[in-house]
Amino acid sequence: MRQVVLDTETTGLEVARGHRIIEIGCIELCERRRSGREFHRYLNPQREVDRGAAEVHGLSDEFLADKPLFVQVADEFLRFIDGAELIIHNAAFDLGFLDAELARLGAGGGRITDRCSVLDTLKLARERYPGQRNSLDALCKRLDVDNTGRELHGALLDANLLAEVYLALTAGQGEMSFDAPLEAVSAVEVAGLPAPRAALRVLRADAGELQAHEARLDAVAKAARQTPVWRQLQG
């Protein structure tokens, strides 16, 4: 499964008042692992950055003046996200701004959800932790994700943090996979006839495999924030 963790920074909070995207940061995950591929661009919004927004992300009009326009990076950005599941914190905000930028491209721009499915980690966190603060900073603290370098917001920085938060939030989900494909079932087995008996080969986990298994159980227990039944039975 291919996923893209995405974050943006903007000139202000209200897309309806003509505010624009000034930074896009994306991290690619393949089968819940970082692929090493990223998309990161600063953009010239062709308007001033609100003072309040600048205090959050530290991006000034002077810094953005020589950066490309969204239209100049749109094709590359859309190729990067096409067909992926987007992971976004408070997705409605980012999608609203991205769809507004696509609308400026003309009839062929469409909408982000025409190209990608979307998973909103804010909604996921609210289901997991109802009644609690579920900002990105709060989740980093709750899930032991190191955000000490986040003095200012930044799209790529926040996408990296969100990737770790997402993996911690969903630890234990989708992990039951096999590296090797399943062998084909023989016609004898399909017919329900007894297959020729063969000596069974017993494979035992080595020390490294046992250690990896314990690490996965620790991750599941940490995400659940309680001692699992199998740990209680071991005790």
* 153 classed as catalytic: yes
One-letter amino acid for residue 70 of the chain: F
Catalytic option among 40, 57, 153, 213: 153
CA distance 44 to 70: 7
CA distance 50 to 33: 37
State which H helix or E strand residue 207 sits in: helix 207-224
User: Which has the closest alpha carbon to 58: 135, 152, 124?
Assistant: 152
User: Which has the closest alpha carbon to 83: 107, 110, 117?
Assistant: 117
For the annotated catalytic residues, the residue numbers are 153
